[in-house]
Structure 1
């Protein structure tokens, strides 16, 4: 399930651009997206498949990547979003860029499936905002024999983020094929150690144009969370709706 990381002095980038945050609790904020290449996971509804192979990205030195960030930074940018792909694949390069961004007085935001708690622990000190993306089995993210390991890493990363006092929220993509029973088990596991005040949000994100769940199905997932966390939200991808990337 691991992909070899790029050397720490270089980074593979798919793209850097500024747009509107289209997901989660901070949707609508002006955001710079630093899309890092490489992801060991294979979600069937992935909307950035071009960023999955590590060698799909352009190769930069860390200094060149910093210059690219500075050159493309817009005024009044709310945060810099490290996304992918999966940023933890290149965790050493991520640390260097996050340090640089924080040095410019900007918020750092990590969007991750948290497949590796060891790498997550190393980058956490340089991240202000964390979105932990829990994957359900119907995402076909990994084969069944590796799913338990992925879930343990995701839960461990949530514990690390909470204990470090980071602004943390959870996202789960659901489809019409997602198991409500499995979702309920995940929710019970999360809130067995998570107090409501310790997370900033729980986002249920419907898949877009691939096995889309109808409203009654979405309400089933919502109702599974609400008794334990009444700040749960169903939030589709805003940028898809308004037609921007």
Structure 2
């Protein structure tokens, strides 16, 4: 087995509920989606990464781990595109390097997600809105179904689980409200550890009024919703 990796580095977590933690980032190359706001276009093609054997990748990861690191973030690109490699490396990081493992994924494939889940401690389930242009309209419903399945798998496995939704000026309140309703019908709110609305940076940035409307759309179903920008961009770090 070989794995295409774009980069491995230590930085400060700039997103989500673990904002500010010292994190080892393992960025996998390749992504089947094409979000207009993608901030790592260099990792979209699997061919743009460097190919390693699993043992070589383990050696690189071990060398990059710094003292006091809180977690290892498996990101991309889209890590589920190389799910077999993610499973092996996550097992190694968790069981041998004794770090918490964190999966940052668009959750486009629930079967691949389920394959890596046993070795993941923290799941960020990202729901793509239609305005993201991640996928064409014909296949959007299928993407949403997979995201919902991944959320259910993570909750059933008692993982630390939180939701992220990227907002732009093109995002529709009605869509966000319906998404929140779908997610939180039943007792899901008791099992979810956070709901983050992340405004895009640059093209189609939402106004404060727009962000507050989206906040209200979620808040009626889940009061612990938060609006958090990508703080690593504010700090000027990778």
TM-score (norm 1): 0.95
Cα distance in 2 for partners of 1:215, 1:208 equals: 13
Partner of 1:13: 5
Unaligned runs of at least 5 residues, structure 1: 1-8
Cα distance in 2 for partners of 1:108, 1:193 equals: 28
Cα distance in 2 for partners of 1:101, 1:193 equals: 35
Partner of 1:6: none
Cα distance in 1 for partners of 2:173, 2:109 equals: 26
| Shift in Å, 1:193 | 4.2
Deviates more, 1:153-162 or 1:221-230: 221-230
Partner of 1:3: none
Partner of 1:4: none
Partner of 2:190: 197
Partner of 1:110: 103
Partner of 2:21: 29
Partner of 1:83: 75
Unaligned runs of at least 5 residues, structure 2: none
Q: Is the 8 A contact 2:176 2:218 kept in 1?
A: no
Q: Deviations over 1:201-230 (max 9, x none)?
A: 000000001110011100001001112111
Partner of 2:30: 38
Partner of 1:67: 59
Total equivalences in the alignment: 237
Cα distance in 2 for partners of 1:85, 1:100 equals: 21
| Shift in Å, 1:195 | 2.4
**Mapping of residues 62-211 of structure 1, within 5 Å:** 62-103=54-95, 104-211=97-204
Alpha carbon RMSD of aligned pairs, Å? 0.7
Q: Deviations over 1:83-114 (max 9, x none)?
A: 00000000000001001001211100000000
Aligned mate of 2:41, from 35, 49, 68: 49
The SS at the match of 2:221 is coil
Cα distance in 2 for partners of 1:41, 1:114 equals: 11
Cα distance in 2 for partners of 1:27, 1:56 equals: 28
| Shift in Å, 1:194 | 4.7
Deviates more, 1:155-164 or 1:184-193: 184-193
Inter-CA distance 118–54: structure 2 relative to 1 (3 Å threshold) = same
1:241 aligns with 2:229: no
Cα distance in 1 for partners of 2:50, 2:184 equals: 40
| Shift in Å, 1:192 | 1.6
TM-score (norm 2): 0.98
